[in-house]
Amino acid sequence: MPEVIPVCHCGNLAKLNTSWSNDNPGMRFFRCKKFGSRFRKPCQFFSWFDPPLTPHSRIVLLGLLKKVRTLEGARKRERRTWLLVLVIVTVLLFLKA
Ligand SMILES: [Zn+2]
């Protein structure tokens, strides 16, 4: 955690967030809680917390993120398949009884 939390333009303590974009994977940044156009008086305060990634670190991180997302997708599909098998077996047992 940061030792010093910056105060944004509107006087609030900035919030620490993490970016998961392809350009800045895993990079933390401070942003006002009123950042964005959905607020009537938005605050544009934005400041990076982490130093920039080296090109190699960025490539490694993106590769790992891609693997994690692929495995999560496979796990979801597997869970759906097992749930379907469970429903079919339950229905078959119910019809047989
Ligand atoms: Zn602000």
Give me the domain span that covers residue 84: 54-97
Interval between CA 42 and ligand 1 midpoint (Å): 7
Q: How far, in Å, are 17, 28, 54, 57, 73 from residue 22 at the CA level?
A: 15, 14, 14, 12, 19
Domain count, the chain: 2
Interval between CA 77 and ligand 1 midpoint (Å): 42
Interval between CA 62 and ligand 1 midpoint (Å): 31
pTM of the entire predicted model: 0.69
Q: State the sign of the Cα–Cα–Cα–Cα dihedral 54, 60, 65, 66.
A: positive
Check whether residue 67 and residue 34 sit in a common domain: no
Check whether residue 65 and residue 41 sit in a common domain: no
Interval between CA 27 and ligand 1 midpoint (Å): 20
Check whether residue 30 and residue 77 sit in a common domain: no
Check whether residue 23 and residue 59 sit in a common domain: no
Interval between CA 46 and ligand 1 midpoint (Å): 9
Check whether residue 3 and residue 46 sit in a common domain: yes
Question: Given this model, what pLDDT does residue 34 score?
Answer: 87
Interval between CA 31 and ligand 1 midpoint (Å): 8
Check whether residue 8 and residue 26 sit in a common domain: yes
Check whether residue 30 and residue 42 sit in a common domain: yes
Question: Given this model, what pLDDT does residue 2 score?
Answer: 75
Check whether residue 26 and residue 64 sit in a common domain: no
Check whether residue 41 and residue 24 sit in a common domain: yes
Give the mean pLDDT of the chain. 92
Check whether residue 48 and residue 1 sit in a common domain: yes
Stretch 52-68: mean pLDDT, rounded? Answer: 94
29, two tokens: 């940044």
Q: Tens digits of per-residue pLDDT, 9-42?
A: 889 899 999 999 988 999 999 999 888 878 788 8
Q: How far, in Å, are 65, 67, 83 from residue 54 at the CA level?
A: 16, 20, 43
